[in-house]
């Protein structure tokens, strides 16, 4: 199982850390958010070290569909109704800032960057689209409500953001990373204050930034309540449609479309990690019906952290940890989410005031309906009888027959059939229990 990005870009190699070191800023996690944060710190002359437990971009960053857009589903109507016009406008401006930063960087980096219109469609509720365009008008953006779109899905219309973008994320990230101060195969097994303990060394820092997809330090921030994880599945195929743009269903379980060179990239089959869903079977069924001449060349899956209110958590890990920072909960919009995180976090650790910081604060109000759903899921799985328990917080593991893995429905940790950890927040392999 390999993504089209992993097949088309060669990763630079970095050494493992073998000696104790000191630095101003330690970044834990070598995905897109960590790499971009390191890039901005280096540009600002700040001493830093980035450590990655495996190879850089070996997780979600290499498995994205790589759409760069500040149209994140139908979020703006939800924000206007739930948080007010000013919060919705700040979210829009912050993500547009991140979008524009990509536009500037991608002119200098060969990464197949292309401008494309982005569409969010609905299959059954046109009112949602009308509400979204009205909300966008309130915050000062003129989106188009389209009657039809050229994909083989029955819709009631779509909201269009013109002049958005797509690219090859690994060509972009590998080019940036090759000049950075990175250690691969360096697993942080324990944090003692601002000192990270690895198998072979200790890293003492003044400030620590955790960009490990799901924050792995449980004793701060209550991320085990504030986040859950969602899996989605992707096919890349030849002899299919040139869709001419980027398209995504407003429902998390719908289909997404974009092209890369001569291939159509189709996403869908999504479900909460540890639950059942359509997975690749749903995608292959769609292809057989709508693209019978297509030939699938690549297939892969991605995992996304979902926040309580559809706004990422970017900033201090908790109110009580002024020297510890994190970025997570990108809600399937990790391209702009990661860039925004890098901008905000590099500003925070260097003492630069950023007007958008309060909107994304991890310490904001968590009394949202999703909190209670997350709590219910955790209690239910803790009480489920199972020989396979997640080492993160002890929840029951479920067998994922599509991917041959043991998955945790509480917080999204995943393990191979022989017990090796595949996705965090679990910070280690399964103990020997017959697996």
3-state class of 203 per DSSP? strand
**pTM, entire model:** 0.95
pLDDT value for 433:
46
pLDDT value for 383:
79
Q: How far is CA 283 from the centre of its chain?
A: 21
Sign of CA dihedral 160, 165, 169, 173: negative
* Tokens describing residue 122: 């609905």
Residues of the chain with pLDDT under 50: 433-435
Q: Work out the mean pLDDT of the chain and round it to a whole number.
A: 95
Bridge partners (DSSP) of residue 202 are: 197
Please state, in angstroms and rounded to a whole number, the distance separating the CA atoms of residues 165 and 304.
Answer: 20
Sign of CA dihedral 273, 275, 277, 279: positive
End-to-end CA separation in angstroms for the chain: 22
> What residues does each domain of the chain span?
4-64+171-226+309-360, 228-306, 369-423
Element (H, E) at 313: strand 313-316
Please state, in angstroms and rounded to a whole number, the distance separating the CA atoms of residues 74 and 89.
Answer: 14
In the block, tokens 């090759």 appear at 178
Complete edge-to-edge strand list for the sheet that includes strand 421-423: 397-400, 405-408, 414-416, 421-423
In the block, tokens 């437990």 appear at 53
| Residue 148 φ then ψ, to 5° | -150, 160
Homologous superfamily in CATH for domain 4-64+171-226+309-360: FAD/NAD(P)-binding domain (3.50.50.60)
**CB 433, CB 404: distance < 8 Å:** no
Please state, in angstroms and rounded to a whole number, the distance separating the CA atoms of residues 239 and 300.
Answer: 19
276's CB contacts (< 8 A; 6+ apart) are: none
Q: What is the pLDDT of residues 105-145, one digit of tens each?
A: 999 999 999 999 999 999 999 999 999 999 999 999 999 99
Please state, in angstroms and rounded to a whole number, the distance separating the CA atoms of residues 242 and 150.
Answer: 9
**CB 146, CB 274: distance < 8 Å:** no
Domain covering 369-423 in this structure, CATH number: 2.102.10.10
Secondary structure of 125-188 in the HEC alphabet? CHHHHHHHHHHHHHHCCCCEEECCCCCCCCCCCEEEEEEEEECCHHHHHHHHHCCCCEECCCCE
Please state, in angstroms and rounded to a whole number, the distance separating the CA atoms of residues 65 and 267.
Answer: 8
């Amino acid at each position: 199982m390999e993504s089209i990005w992993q097949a088309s870009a060669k990763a630079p190699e970095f050494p493992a850390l073998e000696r104790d070191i000191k630095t101003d800023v330690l970044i834990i996690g070598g995905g897109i958010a960590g790499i971009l944060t390191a890039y901005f710190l280096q540009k600002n002359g700040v001493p830093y070290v980035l450590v990655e437990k495996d190879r850089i971009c070996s997780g979600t960053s290499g498995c994205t569909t790589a759409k760069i857009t500040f149209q994140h589903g139908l979020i703006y109507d939800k924000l206007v109704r739930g948080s007010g016009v000013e919060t919705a406008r700040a979210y829009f401006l912050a993500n547009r800032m991140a979008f524009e930063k990509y536009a500037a960087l991608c002119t200098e980096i060969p990464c197949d960057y292309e401008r494309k219109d982005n569409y969010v469609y609905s299959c059954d509720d046109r009112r949602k689209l009308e509400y979204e365009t009205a909300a966008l008008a309130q915050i000062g953006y003129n989106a188009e409500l389209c009657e039809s779109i050229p994909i083989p899905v029955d819709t009631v219309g779509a909201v269009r953001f013109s002049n958005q973008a797509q690219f090859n994320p690994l060509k972009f990230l590998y080019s940036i990373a090759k000049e950075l101060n990175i250690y691969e195969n360096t697993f942080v097994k324990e944090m003692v204050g601002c000192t990270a303990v690895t198998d072979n060394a200790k890293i003492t820092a003044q400030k620590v930034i955790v960009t490990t997809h799901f924050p792995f330090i449980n004793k701060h921030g209550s991320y085990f309540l504030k986040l859950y994880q969602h899996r989605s599945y992707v096919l890349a195929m030849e002899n299919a449609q040139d869709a001419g743009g980027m398209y995504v269903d407003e429902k998390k379980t719908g289909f997404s479309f974009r092209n890369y060179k001569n291939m159509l990239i189709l996403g869908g089959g999504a479900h909460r990690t540890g639950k059942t869903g359509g997975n690749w079977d749903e995608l292959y069924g769609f292809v057989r019906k709508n693209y019978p001449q297509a030939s699938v060349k690549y297939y892969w899956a991605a995992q996304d952290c979902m926040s309580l209110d559809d706004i990422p958590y970017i900033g201090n890990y908790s109110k009580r940890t002024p020297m510890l920072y994190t970025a997570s909960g990108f809600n399937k919009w990790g391209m702009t989410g990661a860039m925004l995180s890098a901008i905000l976090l590099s500003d925070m650790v260097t003492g630069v005031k950023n007007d958008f910081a309060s909107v994304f604060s991890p310490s904001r109000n968590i009394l949202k309906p999703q909190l209670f759903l997350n709590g219910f899921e955790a209690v239910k799985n803790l009480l489920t009888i199972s020989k396979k328990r997640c080492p993160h917080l002890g929840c029951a593991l479920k067998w994922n027959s599509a991917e041959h893995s043991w998955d945790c429905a509480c917080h999204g940790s995943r393990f191979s059939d022989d017990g090796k950890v595949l996705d965090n927040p679990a910070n280690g392999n399964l103990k020997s229990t017959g697996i």
